[in-house]
Amino acid sequence: MAIRLIVKEPDEVLHKTAKTVTKVTPNVQKLLDDMADTMYDAEGVGLAAPQVGILKRLIVVDADEEHGLIKLINPEIVSMEGEQFGPEGCLSIPGLNGDVRRAETVTVRGLDREGNEVTITGSGLLARAFQHEIDHLNGVLFTDIAEKVYEYTAERSETGE
């Protein structure tokens, strides 16, 4: 396992559509493991393969205690319910946050690290993280859909503004 370099905006890889993974190989599994290490090292709650410069449909998310670390291959949202509105940041866009409207609950289907089909339903931060990371796979950044973008400050983070 290794920590990879996180690609920063305006790198063009962040604006491209990632390719479907057709076979779960040891290299795909290693990439997922490296992505998790990279996400934890950067103190994030999610990371998509394009953020480490690789256009494959892979994400890792760790946004709640119930589910813990989730590694998904070819994730897709199969249902969305409700609405939440709040701040988001991104490891590829340091120093900026944005107010983004997302579904409150989403169900995501994909393959786990071993290639088994899994379906996971999450709400709140987990739902937000799933939507944010899957957007990355489609070349969409939170700044593309935010209703307001602003500089990140510790004060604003603590108050939730």
The 3-state DSSP composition of the chain as helix, strand, coil percent (nearest 5) reads 30, 30, 40
Q: Judge whether 12 counts as a catalytic residue.
A: no
Say which residue the tokens 């701040």 belong to: 87
Q: Is 136 annotated as ligand-binding?
A: yes
Q: Is 90 annotated as ligand-binding?
A: yes
- Farthest-apart Cα atoms in the chain, separation: 45
Token code pair at residue 29:
């599994």
Query: Which residue is catalytic, options 65, 66, 114, 133?
Result: 133
**Residues 108 and 78: beta-carbon distance below 8 Å:** yes
Q: CB under 8 Å to 58, separation ≥6 — which residues? A: 18, 21, 28, 31, 32, 35, 48, 49, 71, 72, 73
Preceding omega of 10 cis (within 30 degrees of 0): yes
Q: Is 67 annotated as ligand-binding?
A: no
CA-to-CA dists, residue 50 to 5, 59, 60, 96, 134, angstroms: 11, 9, 12, 19, 10
Q: Which residues are annotated as a binding site for Fe cation?
A: 90, 132, 136
Q: Which residues are annotated as a binding site?
A: 90, 132, 136
Catalytic residue numbers, as ranges: 133
